[in-house]
Amino acid sequence: MDEAGVGRRQFMKYCAGMTALMAMPPMATTAFAKQLRAARRPSVIYMPFQECTGCLESLTRSFAPSLESLIFDTISLDYNHTLQAAAGHAAEEARLEAMEENWGEYILIVDGSIPTKLNGMYGVSESHTFMEQLEQTAEGAAAIVAVGVCAAYGGVGAAYPNPTGAVGVADLIKNKPVINVPGCPPIPEVMTGTLVSFLANGVPDLDAHLRPRAFFGNTIHDRCYRRRFYDRGLFAKSFDDEGARNGWCLYELGCRGPTTYNACATIKWNGGAGWPVESGHGCIGCSEPGFWDQGGFYEPVTAKLFTERGESIAAAAAGVAVGAAAGLASKARKKKLASETE
C-alpha cells in the first residue's frame, strides 16, 4: 500500500467506511484494519454458470472498493471468463493451476444457477457439466460466495416451469461455507464488502437464507424514506398521480419492500446516487427466493400472494396488509375529526 501511495490515514478511513457499511461498532475499525493488513491477497476463482453477466457488470461498477483496487490490491482474480485474457484450454489450465497452488485457501465465487436435469447436460463446458465443475472447484475452496439471485436460489432459470432443473449453490454444496449475496443484480458494494469482510473476519453472521446480516438484516420497508407516508396511510394510486409526485408510499402499486431484505435504501446504487424506489418505482423483491414466481410486480403484497413461500413470509405479508389498513383507518379518523372540529 505504501508503494501504491496509500497512506495510513487513507487506509484507516477505508476501514472505518467498511465497518460502518457492515454496521460494526466504531471500536471494530482498528481490529478490522489489523486483520486486513495481515491478510495476504487470496486467490479468487469466479465461475459463471447459467447467468446473464449482469452480476459481474454490477461488480465492475463498485465504488468502495473499485474493481481495479479489488483485483489488483485486495484479491488475486485468477479465473473469470469475461475479464481474463486467456480462453479455451488456456483458461481452464489457469483455473486448475490456481486450485492446485491455493488448495484449501482460495475463494470460489459462483455466478448463475446450476442446471441439474438430464444429469446436468443443459450446461456443459470443456466436456464437463456445470454440476461437475462446481463440485470439482468447490472441493478445494475455503468458502463459496454465491453472487446474484440465480446462484443463491436458482433465479430466473428456476422460474416456473424450471425446464433445466436450475438450483442455487447451497442446494448442491453441503460441506463448505456458502455465503449468498442475492439480487438481480446485487449491489456492487455489497459484493465487494462481503469479500473484504471475509478476508478480515472469516464467514460473517448469516441469516436463514445464508445472507450476511450486515447487508440483509433489515427490510427495504424498514429503511425506506417513504415509510412515513405508509404509516400515515398515504399511498400513490398510479405512477403519475399527485401522490406519486409527492413521494407517497408505493405499497398499493406492488412495492415488495415490506418482504424484501436488502441494503438498497441505505447503500443505494451508482455510488450512492439513488435507488429504484427513489426513482419512483416499487421494489420488485429481487433478493428473495422465488421472486420471479411471486405474481405481477404491480400487485399489492398480500398473504395469499406469498403462500407458497412459507408461513413466515405469509405472516409478514399479512402484517403489512394490516399495517396499511391501520394507516388508512388512522387517516380516515383524522379526516373525520377535522370535519367535526370545523
Reported as type and span, the H/E element at residue 198 is helix 188-201
The span from the CA of 193 to the CA of 24, in Å, is 12
Tell me if 184 is assigned to a ligand binding site.
yes
For 104, residues 6+ apart whose C-beta sits below 8 A from its C-beta are 140, 142
Report whether 15 belongs to an annotated binding site. Answer: no
Task: Locate 1 and state its grid cell.
Answer: 500500500
Q: Tell me the three cell numbers of residue 230.
A: 405508509
Q: Which three cell numbers stand for residue 305?
A: 400472494
- For the chain, give the longest Cα–Cα distance: 82
CA–CA distance, 195 with 190 (Å, rounded to integer) = 9
**Backbone phi, psi, residue 78, to 5°:** -95, -10
Task: Please provide the DSSP assignment of 276-301 as one string.
Answer: GGGGT-----TTSTTGGGS--TTSPP
C-alpha cell at 75: 484479491
Q: Which residues pair with 128 in a beta bridge?
A: 125
Helices (H) and strands (E) in the chain, counts: 15, 9
Q: Is 224 annotated for ligand binding? A: yes
Cell triple for residue 130? 456445470
Q: Give the three cell numbers for residue 330.
A: 388512522
Instruction: Count Cβ atoms below 10 Å from residue 34 Cβ, excluding itself.
Output: 12
Question: Which residues are registered as beta bridge partners of 109?
Answer: 46, 145
User: Is 55 among the annotated ligand-binding positions?
Assistant: yes
* Annotated binding residues for [4Fe-4S] cluster: 52, 55, 150, 184, 221, 224, 249, 255
* Annotated binding residues for [3Fe-4S] cluster: 264, 283, 286
